[in-house]
Amino acid sequence: MNFHAIRAIYLFEMARAGRTLLQSVVSPVLSTSLYFVVFGAAIGSRMADIDGVSYGAFIVPGLIMLTLLTQSISNASFAIYFPRFTGTIYEVLSAPVSYAEIVIGYVGAAATKSIILGLITLATASLFVPLQINHPLWMLSFLVLTSITFSLFGFIIGIWADGFEKLQLVPLLIVTPLTFLGGSFYSIDMLPPVWRTITLFNPVVYLISGFRWSFYGVSDVSVGISLTMTLVFLVACLVAVSWIFRTGYRLKS
């Protein structure tokens, strides 16, 4: 394993985030803070508790997950797309660096930035609503696992996209709606039986449910199922990335 190559890619991507601090950190944290102000402080005080948890606190895991999913995809997709756009990706591919090392460098940096954002969002939430974390190790595990999984997904999107507009296509039109409909602002047990059954086909439900369980010990689905679904998606992304490098899809043309 060429750790020097991994370190070089990783540090380059982290340095790029430092140069765009306003866009990379301040903007998403500010946007999430507005959710807490509106839904947590303003509306939350007028809402009934859900499973014994105040509404403002109940939505915190969902909002953190929303930040994680969108930022993981955005960071990873842009990180690999820009070298393709400028042509510098061929220098990386021709260097004595394995495909695994390239993926670890890019995905590791994207996941790190998402984890930092998630923790900042968590700290910001504590300023607006009272929080408790019953299972901190599980919370960190879901945080890291989700960031890595969706950074891999973003890496795939960055290779698939043939224009800047496509980089935002999946996050805006698919991931964000699925997150809002996946129980970010409500428990799916509040839905009629038919809609609850339909909602269970939304994979984001399992991510939010498992993450919320780590905070309050309550969830819409079993935490074991949540973890299993996350691992299945992780494996699927790894298989897709392996196929991309094995075939040279969108990399050798």
- Torsion from C-alpha of 5, 243, 232, 165, nearest 10 degrees: 80
pTM (2 d.p.)? 0.90
Contact status, residue 223 vs residue 139, Cβ threshold 8 Å: no
CA 74 to chain centre: 9
Task: With respect to residue 189, please indicate whether it lies within any of the assigned structural domains.
Answer: yes
Residue 162 and residue 192: Cα distance in Å, rounded?
Answer: 41
For position 33, what pLDDT does the model report? 76
**φ, ψ (nearest 5 deg) of residue 13:** -70, -40
Which residues is 53 bridged to in the sheet? Answer: 50
Tell me the C-alpha distance between 159 and 155, whole Å.
Answer: 6
**Residue 253 belongs to some domain of the structure:** no
Contact in structure between 204 and 68 (CB atoms under 8 Å): no
Say how many domains are in the chain. Answer: 1
Structural domain includes residue 174: yes
| 252 falls within a domain | no
**For residue range 167-210, what is the model confidence (pLDDT) as tens digits?**
888 888 888 888 888 888 888 888 888 989 999 899 899 999 99
The domain in which residue 105 lies consists of 3-247
Instruction: Please write the tens of the pLDDT for every residue from 133-171.
Output: 999 999 999 999 999 999 999 999 999 988 887 888 888
For the stretch 2-30, pLDDT in tens is 888 889 889 988 887 777 666 667 777 77
Label residue 111 by pLDDT band (50, 70, 90): very high
